[in-house]
Structure 1
């Protein structure tokens, strides 16, 4: 079985992905075996990063296939690879919970949009990464707009799950505000992906009114968390004379603006600088230092 779309020639990335899948290892395990960063391997298997000759040799060695299979469009798949793919196909043919499969497709779609951009992602790209057919994707998403809406919902839910985990480790609302700031920082590749979908949803909502309600709802849910924490602080006697709604507006505007500066490479804006500015954003009413 190949992961390529019918009618499209297999690429080096397609063949490398076949080898990794047939190995029976996770991408994390395979990356460790070949001494490669997992994110770099993932990008290479998706075709968004060129795999070097050294990396291809390592993939061939660990995957036990001839290097020629990876590098030559005319190479015949080795029998061992075909046998491993057949075993994998039988396993995937076993019943899979529909919601689990939908979540897998949703996560893959969200990450593709985050990494490549909404307008650059084709249905065929999503199908290839999900190892499924375009028809299956149309069952889950009737249009690309639906895919963007669901991608935003995916990252919004992930944000709130992370916040819940962080808030469970502290008790005071001031400490929760500090944790909120840390979670909002675009400090890791996963954070950047999340921010990418947020920013793209704003862009599309400006042009397409049908996308505005989902974006507003997701944003309002996050803003309510901020406002709720400020009011918790006021309930303990802190910032008693402050306009909580105005403080929430100021903070959320700063978060958005600083993140966009950081993501677009604005000079002098760093993750540490963004954190410092946000820690002072509630002054003089509330000190997070």
Structure 2
């Protein structure tokens, strides 16, 4: 008995999740997965994780995958509509040399993420505009359009990682059962334990260094720092309203804690003094003692 070839619509029937549909789009493209990642401005490892379902795709990444993979956003998000043409059916067609032009907001988000990642991994002074353009599959002119100078790129990278940090922190706080638990969660999120944590800290420390040398960068750096410090201060004052640290100076406790976080993280990242993330955690858990006990 002969089997009937699957139709293009059937090809997408088994793709029941966003990750599965994205994987189908990528594997159907007439280019390698690495080149696909370059064209949409994603790190190849991050794309692999997303296709396995272990990393959540962001809105601009979904839009870029749909555009480069020549499917509709509706299909990618819901599974409704025309699925991608399998690669085998498209062998006769010559691969495109360039990715389709992305919508401006998608392109800007793509450039921002690539810029932040490159600065975090290579260092501000080692990243060229050409490197950013290559990572995004676009021109240096397009990069300059969105970020006219490298200082603009550094500011944007700092804000990118700050927003990502606060998003993670908000998610942790939503499931914390008490103010003390929120302080514990805050400490965990601050630790430079994983790859993404190290990238955040890398840009943060580099922004400090550049702000020391260039006063024009200080307002942006100070604004990001003030936002984080306010989170700590609000938690300390919440503890005071709950009867803890009643006679303590909330501002002083906050300054002591934030100073410890910064100093200990730099020691971990630079391999100074034998500091480890485990030791950093232990020291920070005692940072508010004896006024607020976290263990």
TM value normalised by structure 1: 0.72
1:98 to 101, 104, 120: 104
In structure 1, what is the Cα distance between the partners aligned to 2:209 and 2:92? 44
Cα–Cα, structure 1 residues 279 and 98, in superposed 2: closer, same or farther, change >3 Å?
same
Aligned-residue offset at 1:100 = 2.4
How many residues are matched?
223
Is the 1:22–1:81 contact (alpha carbons within 8 Å) kept by the matching residues of 2?
no
Matches within 5 A, 1:121-132: 121-132=127-138
- The residue aligned with 1:191 is 197
Deviation of residue 228 (structure 1)? 0.3
Residue 288 (structure 1) aligns with: 294
Match of 2:229 among 223, 229, 234: 223
Distance 1:24 1:135, change over 3 A: closer
State the distance in 1 between where 2:179 and 2:109 align: 33
- Aligned 8 A contact 1:261 1:269 in 2: yes
Tell me the distance in 1 between the aligned counterparts of 2:47 and 2:202: 28
Partners of 1:22 and 1:253 in 2: CA distance = 43
Q: Is the 8 A contact 2:37 2:47 kept in 1?
A: no
* CA apart distance, 1:282: 0.2
Shift of residue 22, structure 1, vs aligned partner: 5.5
TM-score (norm: length of structure 2): 0.70
Counterparts of 1:269 and 1:29, CA distance in 2: 29
Deviations 1:93-123 (A, max 9, x none): 4xx4422221111011001000000000000
How far does residue 267 in structure 1 lie from its aligned partner after superposition?
3.9
- Give the alignment partner of residue 148 of structure 1, picking from 131, 150, 154: 154
Classify 1:31/1:151 alpha carbon distance in 2 versus 1 (closer, same or farther; 3 Å). closer
Q: Given the alignment of the two structures, is residue 237 of structure 1 paired with residue 243 of structure 2, yes or no?
A: yes
Contact 1:153 1:218 in 2 (8 A): yes
Q: Deviations over 1:147-181 (max 9, x none)?
A: 00000010011111111000000131100000000
Matches within 5 A, 1:32-181: 83-85=94-96, 89=99, 92-93=100-101, 96-181=102-187
Instruction: Decide whether the 8 Å contact of 2:210 with 2:217 is kept in 1.
Output: yes
SS in structure 2 at match of 1:186: coil
Question: Which residue in the other structure is 1:20 paired with?
Answer: 33
How many angstroms does 1:234 deviate by? 0.5
CA distance in 1 between partners of 2:152 and 2:170 (Å): 27
Structure 2 regions of 5+ residues with no counterpart? 1-30, 50-54, 56-86
Deviation at 1:19, TM superposition (A): 3.1
Alpha carbons of structure 1 residues 202 and 23: separation in structure 2 relative to 1, 3 Å: closer
- Show the 5 A alignment for 1:244-259: 244-259=250-265
Whether contact under 8 Å (1:23, 1:84) holds in the other structure is no
Q: Extract unaligned runs of 5+ from structure 1.
A: 1-17, 33-37, 39-63, 65-78
For the residues of structure 2 that align with 1:180 and 1:163, how far apart are their CA atoms? 7
Structure 1 residues 286 and 216, CA gap change in structure 2 (3 angstroms)? same
Looking at structure 2, the residues matched to 23 and 132 of structure 1 have their Cα atoms a distance apart, in angstroms, of 13
